[in-house]
Amino acid sequence: MEEVAKMNRAFYERYQKLDDGEEFWKLMMAPLRQSIRINTLKAPIEYVKARLEERYELEPIPWVKEGFFINTREFGEMVEYALGLVFPQEASSMIPPVVLDPKPGELVLDMAAAPGAKTTQIAQYMKNEGCIIANDLKKWRANVLIANLNRFGVLNARVTVRDGIYFSRFEDTFDKILLDAPCSSVGMIRKSFKFLTDWSMKKVIRYSNIQKKLIVAAYKALKPGGVLVYSTCTIDPLENEEVVDYLLSKTDAKLEKINLPLKSTPPVLEFEGKKYSEEVKKCLRIHPQDNNTEAFFVAKIRKP
């Protein structure tokens, strides 16, 4: 805790109101367990798993059948990575596509898609049938996205470079939408301390405003009966429960409970004097100590 306070006191003072447990702070600063997802667009899980187990130790990730913790960080020398058979992906970041549950033949929007880990996971579940509009705001990020889609054998995606708000004009269009929103990345401190030293309240407020615009645009573009999954890799209520609460107050959106074999922390119903709808209890809030992963937040929203 002292280490965090030394590096960024404002950060420590804000988030110890959310979780002041020793385990939370210890794991917030601990190195992240490396994990991969096997790409079933190119080969069956068992085939790739058997190849990998000749050289590495694998441990199944309980909430995604293609996901495994692995005891290496050296992907540059892994031939399976070069061939697009495995995607290095953080274990909790595999949750949103699982919750989205896209099906072959559907029209899916991945609103903030780069670098493409979740896009390739969506394509995998769709078996390359149907269409994914994979969007990102920045051209250089879209180039990374295209490179990953190519390497992982994704054939059903079209890449667009737009501000996500643009998609609000396609009202009632998409079967499923993933909004893995740009955020203050508090959960990613375990990957790099720069997310801790660069953190500021100003950034949190800026991201919260962007997220509110994006979630309303995404909801507009969703077909009645369709599913929108909103996710972030941060723990700040302003970027999580507040954004979902904002959507609920502005639209007829309904939240659905997420049932996955993992541990989670109760969602925040009140923070700094601001109260949120009881409905946000259905969201998934994950702190690092829950499953020894990044911090993450996921909401499953349905349009009636």
The predicted-structure confidence for 270-287, as pLDDT tens digits, reads as follows: 999 999 999 999 999 999
Q: What angle do CA 203, 209, 212 make, to 5 degrees?
A: 135
pLDDT at 261: 98
237-263 burial string, b = 16+ CB within 10 Å, else e?
bbbbbbbbbbbbeeeebebeebeeebe
- With a cut of 70, which residues of the chain have pLDDT below it? none
| Separation of alpha carbons 50 and 53, rounded Å | 5
pLDDT at 5: 87
Catalytic residue among 131, 183, 233, 283: 233
Burial category of 230 from C-beta neighbours within 10 Å (exposed 0-12, middle 13-18, buried 19 and up): buried
Q: Tell me, yes or no, if 131 is annotated catalytic.
A: no
pLDDT at 1: 76
Residue partners of 6: CB distance under 8 A and separation at least 6: none
The token pair at 209 is: 């405003």
